[in-house]
Amino acid sequence: MLLDSNVLLFWSLELSRISRGAEEALLSAPSLWLSIASVWELEIKQGLGKLLADIDWHETLRDRLILLPIEIEDAVLAGSLPLHHRDPFDRMIIAQAKRRGLPIVTRDRAFEHYGVPVIWA
């Protein structure tokens, strides 16, 4: 399953802020993926002062998450998705999930318009 950026923050910083179903799914999943787009998005937000958490990416990724790189096919698909969602980072996460058949763990209701399996956090 692929984690949306907001779920990574809630899960890393305060597990009680995600739903019990999402928590159980995360804890029992055979593999958890994090898009490089999420790292990029959160680093931009931190640089702009919109995110006060200082994330140690090596520690966050170690033993828990597999980093999902962006491939050209992901970029092409993200660019061709309907404009239900205008956030380019979320569009990339959706494209990556669609291409790989991964469910997305998120709180963002706009994801449901793209035909990807969603686990609501």
Partnered with residue 2 across adjacent β-strands are: 33, 104
State the pLDDT at residue 55.
81
CATH of 2-120, one of 3.40.50.1010, 2.40.10.10, 3.40.50.1980, 1.10.3720.10: 3.40.50.1010
State the pLDDT at residue 64.
82
Where are the chain's structural domains?
2-120
| 15 within 8 A of 27, measured Cβ to Cβ | no
State the pLDDT at residue 95.
98
The one-digit pLDDT tens for each residue of the chain (121 residues) are 999 999 988 877 765 688 889 989 998 999 999 999 999 999 999 999 998 877 888 787 777 899 999 999 999 999 999 999 889 999 999 999 999 999 999 999 999 999 999 999 9
| 108 within 8 A of 10, measured Cβ to Cβ | no
Predicted structure pTM score: 0.91
Token digits for 96?
């990556």
Token digits for 52?
């006060």
State the pLDDT at residue 57.
84
3-state secondary structure of 105: strand
